[in-house]
Amino acid sequence: MTATRLVPAGDRQHRLSPPGGAKNRWLALAVICVGTMMAFVNVSSTIGALTRIQTDLQSSPTSIVWITSAYSLAVASLILAAGTLSDRLGRRLLFGLGVLFFIIGSATAFRADTTGMLIAAQAIIGVGGAMLLPSGLAIVSHEFSAPRQRTEAVSIWAGSSGLGLAVGPLGSGAILTHYSWHAIFVINIVLGAIALAGAVFLIPDSRHPGRRLDPVGLVLGTLTVATLTFGIIEGKTLGYGSATIVTAYAISAAGLAMLIWYESKHPDPMLDVRLFRSGSFSAVMAVAATSMIGFTGTALMTVLYLQHVQDLSALGAGVRSLVMFVPFIVVSAVAGRLVHRIGFKFMLTVGLLAMGGGILALRWTQAGPDFSHVWPGLLIVGIGGGLLVAPSTAAAVISVPASQAGMASSAVNMFRQLGNVLGASILGTILTSQFADNLTPDLARSGVPGPAIAQIADGAKHGRDASGLPAQVQDIVRHAFNDAFHTGVLVAGLFVLAIAVPTVLFVRHRPEALQPATR
């Protein structure tokens, strides 16, 4: 290891590896993109396998939501603390440790034979994601210091998340054709081995040694997110007015208030809440969260719709999901260049309007195999998502002084993962609970006897195959799920469109204009 070299101009960070040339920077970016892709492969491959998982483990609808939420909950809860640790201990070290946790969690999921064990494995994977996502983005921000080049590099980094979302359902669909759902986690292990080797040999190390860990902030932040998620997911089962759920929401609100107060007084906060005095920075954080609520939530609901209503296999649903993922990747790749020409305000507003409109267009779907009612909405959602993710990430990173780039990257990742949690938990809960609410009365109106209704409804909620049921009953099940899908996309679409209002009002137009706002 060579002597420490200070990096330029007020950036109190240290480079601990020899300075690399442009080629080495791009190789490091490629490794980081593999790690980022792995983090999102896990999300979409798990979604693609949910039907098979539910059938095999006989999981309840609430447990299914937890399987998709446990990973993102762990990431959202720990990502800010992981960003601080990466600054103190070295970003390459935390990136490598994150990949290692990812591999361990994936191996645990591979061996899982109960719903609880799978949820625990997803939480371990989430710990890995919390380490590798902020450290990877901080490395990118540190290596590509020029604002324009940094925006392009961050756009590529963000595009790799779209690639991961696209690869996940395809890979899991192909694997499920021949193997059990356990085998989908081999994808993570293979990608993890590649990323771990690249981290050792290709990623330069850097750190910001002045940062201090904030354990009180970590506990308060984790408590706030965890209790909110618990209330959302378990509310339908326990009753939203029950003492348990009301207490969960009260703890979440109190935790948030205490977190804001504590971080505002802390000399070296995990998240500098003063950054949110900038209306532009706050609006960008809202866009970051909303983009993932809309995108991940729509992906989850659509894959389940394609499997439960259109009777597609996991591979068939994955192939059709490319209508959304491919434009997301393509648009993300060029969004970084476009934003310098047309500005953040216009780019983010158009992205929100496109995504929200595309989600609402999915209300045209029918309870049948016709995909022509599905693909236009998915295409528009993909385009809108591509316009949002890279520019919102870049806006957050370049809107703060260079010494706070790590904190900004952690913040935008936290809000994106919070969006993942809320997208999966809120929209997944709406879909599953509305389906259960629709199915029983629909069966009763069709003259199905009471004992048979209870048996059919219980089987449908636990993912049991409906192919052995009479054709009329299968049709009722499809219509009930289609109606629930319409409710879910209505909520998601209106929420995404609503965030366009503060985007227009507060986000500054040009990337350069954001620079002095938070100094």
- What is the 3-class SS of 96-144, one letter each residue? HHHHHHHHHHHHHHHCCCCHHHHHHHHHHHHHHHHHHHHHHHHHHHHHC
Pairing of strands 5-6, 206-207: unpaired
Q: Please answer whether residues 206 and 88 qualify as being in contact, where contact means their C-beta atoms are separated by less than 8 angstroms.
A: no
d(CA 375, CA 370): 10
Instruction: Provide the whole-model pTM.
Output: 0.82
Q: What pLDDT, on the 0 to 100 scale, is given for residue 6?
A: 34
Query: Residues of the chain with pLDDT > 70: what percent?
Result: 87
The pLDDT assigned to 306 comes to 94
Q: Phi and psi (nearest 5°) for 5?
A: -125, 125
| Per-residue model confidence (pLDDT) at position 454 | 76
CA distance 74 to 306: 28
Q: What pLDDT score does 3 carry?
A: 37
The phi, psi pair for 368, rounded to 5°, reads -155, -175
Supply the pLDDT for residue 19: 45
Structure confidence at residue 360 (pLDDT): 98
Residues of the chain where predicted confidence (pLDDT) is lower than 70 = 1-23, 147, 209-211, 394, 397-410, 460-468, 509-519
Q: How far apart are CA 119 and CA 131, in angstroms?
A: 19
CA angle, 486 then 52 then 365, to 5°: 20
| Element containing residue 243 per DSSP (H, E) | helix 243-265
The full DSSP string for 147-211 is HHHHHHHHHHHHHHHHHHHHHHHHHHHHHHHHS-GGGGGHHHHHHHHHHHHHHHHTPPPEE-TT-
Report the alpha-carbon distance of residue 356 to residue 339 in Å, rounded. Answer: 20
Phi, psi values for residue 287, rounded to 5°: -65, -40
Closest to 170 measured CA to CA, from 317, 375, 326: 317
pLDDT for residue 396 = 74
For 366, phi and psi rounded to 5 degrees?
A: -120, 165
